[in-house]
Structures are given as C-alpha cells and as structure tokens.
Amino acid sequence: MLLDLNEEETLLKESLDQFAAGAIRPKIKPFVDRHEFPTDLVKEFLSLGFMGTAYDPNFGGGGLGARGSSIVAEVLARAEPGFAAIYLCNSAPMSVIARYGSDELKRKWLEPLCRGDFIASFGVTEPSGGSDVASIKTRAVEDGDSFVLSGSKVFSTNAGTPLHGASTFVAVTDPELGPKGLSTFVVPVGTPGFKVGKPGRKIGWRIADSVELFLDDCRVPKSNMVGNRGDGLKQILTTLSLGRILVGASGLGLARKAMDLAKVYGAGRKIGGTPIFNHQGLTFPLADGLTKIHAAELMIRNAACLADAGRPFRLETSMAKLFATEMASEVADIALQVHGGYGVFEEYEVSGLLGEARVLRILEGTSEIQRLVIARELLA
C-alpha cells in the first residue's frame, strides 16, 4: 500500500504542521507542567476548522473521512499527545451524531462543532462498568415530549472545560431488552441536573481534563435522541471502532515524537569520547522501533480506508489500535533509555512520553479488549 497523501490531505498536513510548529510546540509546556487545559490554544485550533476534517461538507465538515482525521490526530500527537486527546475525544460525539443523527440534529449540533463554536464529550463508561458497555445503568425515562436522564459517567474528556458545550450520553431506555435497550442523547451544558466533577491529575493526557459527569433528573427533548431508540449499543461499538483509528494514529504520532527526541539527543551525546549511536545496543532497538512505526502507519491507513469505503472495519481497527499503542510504549521507552539518567528528569520532554503512551493502551478499549475482539474474529 502506498502512503502517498492526496492533494487535500497534503494541504491538511501542511496546515497542521504549521499550527503545531507556530502555536503548540512553543507554547504548550507550561500547560503540560500545570496539567492545565490550554483554552486559548484550543480556541485558535478550533478557529482553523480542523475539528470538522472528517465530516460531511453539507454540515460544515471537510469531507476527508477517517483518513483525514487520522492525519490530524497523528500530527497533533507528534507535537503534544494531550492536544491529540482533546481532538479525538471531541471526535467521538461528533461521529455518533454524523453517522446516526437526523439532519435536524446535525444542523443543531454537528455544524457548530465543525465550525469550532465549542467542544463536546462522550459519556459512555460508568464507575462500575469499565469496558463492559452492555452493563450501562444510566436511565432515560420517557415523559411526554422529553426523556429524563439519571446516572453518572466517568473518564469524560473535554467536559467541564471553558469550551465544553454539550455531551452525548448512552442510557437505558428499555431495560427489558437488555443491551438492545440502549439509546444515545445529546445533553447541552447548562441543562438543569447536569453536573460536572473536578478533573484529576493523570500520568498522560495532562492538558486534557477528564471528569465524572452526573445526571440528576436531567430533562432533554425527544429530538435530542441520536438516531433510533434502541440503537445505542450499535452506535457505541461503531463509534469506538472509529475512535480506535484515532487512538492508533495518536500512538503513531507519539512514537515519532519519541524517535525525534532520541535522534536529536543521541546525535550529540558521547560517552568516553564515543558517540552513543556507535553502540548497537541503542541503535538496534531504534531500528526495530522505526520498523514498527512503519507497520503501524500501514495498519492505520488500511483501517481508515476501509471505514471510508463503507466496508467492515472493526477487526482492522482493533488490530491497528492494539499494535500502534503497544508500539508507542515500546518506542517511548527506547527513547528514554537513549537519554540515560537525564530521561527521568521532567526538564527533558522525553520523560513524560511513557505516561502519555500508557494511557493509549487503556482508552477506547484496553489492549486486552482488542485481543478479545481479534480472537473472536479468528474463531468466528
């Protein structure tokens, strides 16, 4: 498979590289050090229209699909992994609305999200559920022309930030139907009963706030249901599969960042008068890392192409996400080893990459979940 970008993708990447070089890299470190959401930098990013890259131009998007959005995630992660997190966690609610929402819902929510008027969060994981999305307990009870939602979600990234405008929630509408009784709703910030917890400090995604969300008799109109009643589980699984492409692309960008740092540091470092890259003990692991980076890129591009072509892609996204995120941890570890003792000091950017990479192996389905998906496909 050729990795050549088409003209639109090339222009997208060039624009992103310029933004990363001119805005993210020179300004982001204080926010990372403080674990602080970079409001003004995100506003600048939103104003450039990158959030709409994947989506239908009829609703304000760029029409570049999963291939385009994977480019965005990779470039952002190569600059700062937490910035890619803000992008991909906004993409999840956008994707579910784009794929399943009515035209009315898309006009009301997808268009302003594509314009960058605000950002959204995805409410799926619950305190007692973890990866078991079928065990969701949040309830949505029909009441006249509304649904009343009650429950809580955890690990909702982007929620509670100054730019947070809405969240999508998956809730039980028909408990007697089990997993087929789930539905998805858009809940605007400011809706009575919608409360946001405080963000915690994480080992990765340090600039991307992740919080618990609470719904206490939270009333929304029926028109805020995304797609059909009872389609929530299908919507979750498809959205997570699309998200795995972006998580994998984030791992790819992070690995390239780690490789960049290792090359720059190693090129100027000598031990006993000998450049450290004269030692195969360091260069062979880097060679292995570079090989795996290339393999991850092929897998991510293949998964994105399948998604854009409307072909089955769940298996390929699981394999790409598993491989790319495990690879990112390996390359981050190699890069830190190249730095030696300096690599453990926070003054060196490489010190934070292991934590950033570790996060990627958990979200959008852990590595164990990906192996389960792959094994089931193998035995089908």
Q: Which of 80, 316, 349, 364 is catalytic?
A: 364
Work out the number of other CB atoms within 10 angstroms of the CB of residue 125: 18
What are the angstrom distances between the C-alpha of 192 and each of 87, 188, 247, 290? 27, 10, 33, 51
Buried b (16+ CB within 10 A) or exposed e, 135-166: ebebebeeeeebbbbbbbbbbbbbbbbebbbb
The set of residues, in sequence order, having a beta carbon less than 8 Å from that of 211 and lying 6+ positions away, is 156, 159, 160, 196, 197, 198, 199, 200
* H or E stretch covering 13: helix 7-19
> Angle formed by the axes of helices 232-268 and 65-79, to 10°?
40
Q: Is 187 helix (H, G, I), strand (E, B) or coil?
A: strand
Count H helices, E strands: the chain? 13, 10
CB of 113 within 8 A of CB of 50? no
Q: In one letter, which amino acid is 56?
A: D
Among this protein's residues, is 364 annotated catalytic? yes
Structure tokens at 282: 């360091």
Concatenate the DSSP letters of all residues of 52-93 into one string: GTTS-GGGT----HHHHHHHHHHHHHHH-HHHHHHHHHHHHH
CA angle 329, 331, 334 (to 5 degrees): 110
The single-letter DSSP state of residue 204 is S
Show which residues are catalytic: 364
